Chains A and B, each alone.
Chain A
């Protein structure tokens, strides 16, 4: 890495570490939610690598959130355990819906996931005795670590940061291992992968289940952070937003969904919960498709090539800037 890049990462790290002290409680709250969105976006990536358009990710967040909240509220389970249970239940439900659905391809699979979001939302809405339905589930215990309750938003911010880094580390390791290569091969040419002995259905299911697990983690943290769950929050809209993070950030790289989730969560903050949110995300998606098909991660490369043109230094038109042609993988 160049010294300039190292310096940038260093500054970024310091800012992230000191954010609650530099910017105050509101930003600690806001960025905790941004981190949740990043976990959601990044955990959708394995499925996208396999070429599976999953528009149902919010359902697994919802399952993780409700499971963890109810276990903590009704049985008094400690946060660490209830979070783990939430993630595991989300994974189990994911496996049971994924096993039959992953045999479908492309838009048919996407339709199943859309229907599933609605089913989960309706269950949360109708099963009043358990979830309190449209009255919302309130007074969820604050997160705690080893019995120590994290009272302030600042403490909870650091919990979110640790969770985020753990999840990203695991997902990064997995994507850059043989497993990631297998997923990419399925996304590029599933028949060819099969002909080399890859059990395509099995690996798609693994990618899907891994995504469900981390969506469950994100949901569980969210439940104890916001301390109030309301079924319509985990809607189809939220699921499409998670997908949009991936596309706007860029599908070609691991950092794509991270960049996309941070960028869009912050920009859409003024519209959160209003009808303008949908319009904002739609415009972001359309602009990406029209102007920057590779996503935001390809922007520096594009800008560099523009600058070259502008300065007239483009003596050798064959030199393509490094970022401009970012391949589907890496």
Chain B
């Protein structure tokens, strides 16, 4: 969360995807897409259903190998690395559906988020009286405090209301100390107040030095929060720009109205 390099004078490209392509059989789910995310930005990735947003996410985070194209993160080529290796470099993602470990407590969920910086060998398991060192517990509580979940620490994750569950998903990703946090539909299925709260949290996270890339269907949330928006349609980049630029772009309007989506 605290990142000394986040407040540089001149932003540098933190993430650069060049000609990213993914074929499923004969279908080009993502076709020669270029995405650049500068350090300290909040970038939105939008598009009608089936546009390839989630596939893009899976490619960037290493969950799917790209058919072609390169991905550079923080100056290093990460194309073809395994997902957990990419996480270790500071690129952390959340999921649309499986956002948490249902049958664990909220605290355990966040403790798992600390995985990369934790003590976790057989030695730790056998020789230490406490399962978790005090500093790991303290750090987890810090994250819970920050995300407003502190009072739920001992509850089972599955017993949380939907809004809190989504927040917990973000809290776990935060515990992994990302430089770039990729959020897959963080406010889907939420009412207006809940989504306001989450988007506020996203802005706070960015202000504390973490760059954000998010996929979202809720246009109001995207338009009000993201500084730059990339629009995908049928696997290709349709437009890119500020909320105002994108929302007046003819191609974008056509793509959305063409699918009958009422969001735009």
Contacts and interface: CB of A to CB of B under 8 A. Distances in A.
A177 B131 CA distance: 4
Given A196-B113, A197-B115, A197-B176, A174 B95 contact: no
Nearest to A177: B125
B112 A195 contact: no
A195 B83 contact: yes
B42 interface: no
B111 interface: yes
Contact of A179 (B98, B111, B120, B175): B120
Nearest to B61: A195
A173 B101 contact: no
B111 A181 contact: yes
A189 B104 contact: no
Interface residues of B, number: 40
Contacts of A198: 84, 112, 115
A196 B63 contact: no
B93 A184 contact: no
A298 to B, nearest CB: 15
Interface string A152-195: 00000000000000000010011011111110110011011111
A198 B88 CA distance: 9
B172 interface: yes
B43 to A, nearest CB: 19
A200 B84 contact: yes
Contacts of B101: 184-185, 188-189, 192
A191 B131 contact: no
B112 A179 contact: no
A199 interface: yes
A188 B93 CA distance: 18
B156 interface: yes
Contacts of B61: 195
A195 B113 CA distance: 9
A199 B87 CA distance: 10
A145 interface: no
B84 A199 contact: yes
Contacts of B216: none
A111 B185 CA distance: 38
A196 B126 CA distance: 24
B83 A329 contact: no
A328 interface: yes
A327 interface: yes
B119 interface: yes
B143 to A, nearest CB: 13
B115 A173 contact: no
Contacts of B92: 195-197
Interface of A: 170, 173-174, 176-182, 184-185, 188-189, 191-200, 206, 327-329
11 contacts: A177-B131, A180-B131, A188-B102, A194-B84, A194-B87, A195-B83, A195-B173, A196-B116, A197-B84, A197-B88, A329-B104
Given A179-B124, A196-B87, A328-B103, 11 more contacts: A174-B125, A178-B118, A182-B112, A185-B101, A191-B95, A192-B95, A192-B100, A194-B84, A196-B92, A196-B113, A197-B92
Q: Shortest 6 CB-CB distances between A and B: which pairs?
A: A177-B125, A197-B87, A197-B116, A328-B103, A174-B125, A327-B103
